[in-house]
């Protein structure tokens, strides 16, 4: 074997060294348990209850074959959520149990029952394999014990997260090779540099808030020496640097998409590669956003990357980029001057500057797939580090769902270290998180998606004291009254919703999308009954409404205490509705039946 063969062999081993039999079996078992839980929630499977042992319910699930079935067990939680026991999952063939669980085979065993089309099933299997590969990597490198993780840095906590709790294929990352995986995913914890281009002003649009004109942004982000170096590259191409903007791109995007799809613009020197920047960045949970490790006070940088991950391609729309700083200014002028929100310490991370670059040819394709029109652009977002007071630190809210390999909960360890009772800690969290969301919805008539990855908790002495919201610009949804009050420049960009469905952004987005999981963490790992959790949620809503009686009509119009609300499903969309078709817009969740509202069910009658 020659030297080059040795190198090739080494490279191959690098990508598969975490793929061990015991690890693979464990991640399959963990994943199929999540699949059963989410499929039960979305009514995708209808197992038979065989018997009930106190709170524990045993299930038997039939498949396409009369000789194959699965058994598992768990405990029921609010909103049709099941806390299932991974060790209870067993597959039977001809009434004989199999020793291992193969989640991919489960989908094949159920393909007719589920009604999944062959193309969708094939693509879904690919996404599932990619997710299992990532889960195996995370498990093999060693998940940090909860009691240690609570004292870790923001970036270490960020890199330990498991991914979207609702989506079963939450680390699909279609488009990455194993080398890309090891270079660019957060759990690999590899620092990276940004690759910079010079883009011609005739093709690119710079948008910014009044504070961040282009010279200031470049001075803060690059400094004089690097700007001079980039200008020298432009001079070497015999072009005028004053005609160009400096644009950071994801290295994967440059290698896999831009060099091919923008070959004409590169040939005509509308795009000129300049080289790498000096700062080291850590990829965040969203993959395309980077946190500056060398200088945490500097901007987060969000780049376009055309991989399919958690249901959508992760590009950046030039139309939305062009309006993002304007939306930041408008929203901040409303919220950051609100006396009530200021008392709560509520903070928004503004998207203060953007560069968008349209593809001349794809823009002419009417109703073409959205991701071909979101290939090149960047967002500079404020750093949360600049909004901290003495004694405060930050962590992603997704961390509250973390449970280590010993069954210890991050939240339980935070509560233990705080010295508070579980209920007292919960009240502090809900006041920090839920109260500002209620106020923005009722007082300011719009909403965004404050899920775990988009919400940063500000912690003091292990207790959440307030929140910082990022990624709010693209997520804003207006009520009909809110749409009337929004600036005309934003109305054609921002989404709005019929008032009939407006409360779903809290009932589904927060209750189902966040509290369904967190209430189970409190019940199963902290030891606080979920009914007490939901009683406290109701008390926060009631308390807010009593504080603001002037909004009484809006409380009646947008009632968060309705007995039932529409069940929103996201796994159904991938499997049955949208599949992997390439539409002009991103897929939207599907509606299927109703859920009982646990806040209404556990509301104290005297409220």
Write the DSSP string, 236-304: HTT--GGGEEEEEE-HHHIIIIIHHHTHHHHHTTSEEEEEE-SS-EEE-TTSSEEEESS-TTSPEEEE-
Question: 430 and 466 in contact (C-beta within 8 Å)?
Answer: no
Which tens digit of pLDDT belongs to each residue from 511-547? 999 999 999 999 999 999 999 999 999 999 999 999 9
pLDDT at residue 490 in the model: 79
Q: How confident is the model at residue 584 (pLDDT cuts 50, 70, 90)?
A: confident
- Average pLDDT of the chain is 94
Tokens of 240: 């005028």
Tell me the C-alpha distance between 514 and 518, whole Å.
6
Q: Which residue has the tokens 């956003």?
A: 289
Per-residue pLDDT tens over the stretch 133-169: 999 999 999 999 999 999 999 999 999 999 999 999 9
Q: How far from 123 is each of 107, 307, 310, 483, 558, CA to CA, in Å?
A: 12, 14, 13, 38, 39
Per-residue pLDDT reduced to its tens digit, 318-337: 999 999 999 999 999 999 99
Could you tell me which residues come within 8 angstroms of residue 333 by beta carbon, excluding any fewer than 6 positions away?
none
Q: What is the mean pLDDT of residues 67-72?
A: 98
| Span 411-421, pLDDT tens digits | 999 999 999 99
β-pair partners for 244 = 200
- The whole-number average pLDDT for the span 170-183 is 95
Q: Residue 475's pLDDT is what?
A: 84
Given a cut of 80, whether residue 491 has pLDDT beyond it is no
Q: Between 260 and 1, whose confidence is greater?
A: 260
- Per-residue pLDDT tens for 334-391? 999 999 999 999 999 999 999 999 999 999 999 999 999 999 999 999 999 999 999 9
DSSP 39-98: HHHTT---PEEEEEETTEEEEEEE-SSTTEEEEEEEEEETTTEEEE-GGG-EEEETTEE-
pLDDT-above-70 percentage for the chain: 98
Task: Tell whether the model's pLDDT for residue 486 goes beyond 50.
Answer: yes
Over 60: is that where the pLDDT of 2 sits? no
Q: Answer whether 413's CB lies under 8 Å from 424's CB.
A: no
Query: Alpha helix locations (H) across 88-199?
Result: 103-109, 111-114, 118-141, 146-149, 154-158, 178-184
Its pTM stands at 0.95
Contact 214, 245 (CB under 8 A): yes
**Which domains are delineated in the chain?**
11-115 (3.30.310.280), 178-386 (no CATH), 393-601 (1.10.510.40)
């Amino acid at each position: 074997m020659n030297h080059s063969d040795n190198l090739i062999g080494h490279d191959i081993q690098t990508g598969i060294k975490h793929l061990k039999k015991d690890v693979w079996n464990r991640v399959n078992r963990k994943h199929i348990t999540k699949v059963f839980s989410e499929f039960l929630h979305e009514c995708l499977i209808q197992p038979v209850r065989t018997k009930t042992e106190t709170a524990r319910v045993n299930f038997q699930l039939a498949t396409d074959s009369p000789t194959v079935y699965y058994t598992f067990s768990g405990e029921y939680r609010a909103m049709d959520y099941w806390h299932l026991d991974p060790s209870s999952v067993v597959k039977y063939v001809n009434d004989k149990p199999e020793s291992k669980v193969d989640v991919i085979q489960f989908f094949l065993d159920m393909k007719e029952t589920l009604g999944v089309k062959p193309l969708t099933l094939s693509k879904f299997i690919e996404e599932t394999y990619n997710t299992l590969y990532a889960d195996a990597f995370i498990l093999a490198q060693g998940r940090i014990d909860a009691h240690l993780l609570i004292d870790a840095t923001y970036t270490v906590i960020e890199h330990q997260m498991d991914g979207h709790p609702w989506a079963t294929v939450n680390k699909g990352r279609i488009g990455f090779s194993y080398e890309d995986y090891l270079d660019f995913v957060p759990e690999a914890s590899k620092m990276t540099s940004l690759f910079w281009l010079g883009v011609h002003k005739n093709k690119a649009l710079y948008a910014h808030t009044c504070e961040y004109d282009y010279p200031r942004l470049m001075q803060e982000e690059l400094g004089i020496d690097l700007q001079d170096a980039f200008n020298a590259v432009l001079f070497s191409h015999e072009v005028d640097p004053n005609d160009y903007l400096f644009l950071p791109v994801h290295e994967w995007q440059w290698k896999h998409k831009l060099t091919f799809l923008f070959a004409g613009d590169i040939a005509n020197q509308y795009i000129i590669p300049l080289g790498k920047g000096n700062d080291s960045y850590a990829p965040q949970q969203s993959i395309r956003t980077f946190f500056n490790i060398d200088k945490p006070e500097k901007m987060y940088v969000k780049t376009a990357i055309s991989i399919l991950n958690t249901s959508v391609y992760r590009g950046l729309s030039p139309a939305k980029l062009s309006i993002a700083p304007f939306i930041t200014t408008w929203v901040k002028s409303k919220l950051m001057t609100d006396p009530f929100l200021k008392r709560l310490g509520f903070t928004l991370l503004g998207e203060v500057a953007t560069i968008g670059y349209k593809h001349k040819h794809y823009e002419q394709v009417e109703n073409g797939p959205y991701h071909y029109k979101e290939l090149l652009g960047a967002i500079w977002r404020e750093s949360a580090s600049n909004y901290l007071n003495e004694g405060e630190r930050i962590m992603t809210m997704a961390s509250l769902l973390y449970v280590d390999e010993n069954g210890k909960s991050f939240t339980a360890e935070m509560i233990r270290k705080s010295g508070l009772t579980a209920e007292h800690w919960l009240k502090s969290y809900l006041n920090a998180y839920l109260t500002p969301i209620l106020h923005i919805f009722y007082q300011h008539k719009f909403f965004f998606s404050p899920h775990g990855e988009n919400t940063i908790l500000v912690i003091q002495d292990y207790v959440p004291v307030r929140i910082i919201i990022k990624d709010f610009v693209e997520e804003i949804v207006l009520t009909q009254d809110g749409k009337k009050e929004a600036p005309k420049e934003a109305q054609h960009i921002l989404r709005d919703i019929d008032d009939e469905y407006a409360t779903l952004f809290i009932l589904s987005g927060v209750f189902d999308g966040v509290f369904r999981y967190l209430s189970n963490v409190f019940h199963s790992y902290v030891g606080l009954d979920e009914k007490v959790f939901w009683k406290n949620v109701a008390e926060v809503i009631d308390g807010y409404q009593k504080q603001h009686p002037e909004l009484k009509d809006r409380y009646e119009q947008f009632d968060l205490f309705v007995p039932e609300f529409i069940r929103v499903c996201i796994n159904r969309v991938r499997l049955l509705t949208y599949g992997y078709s390439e539409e002009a817009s991103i897929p939207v969740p599907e509606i299927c039946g109703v859920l009982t509202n646990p806040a209404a069910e556990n509301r104290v009658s005297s409220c």
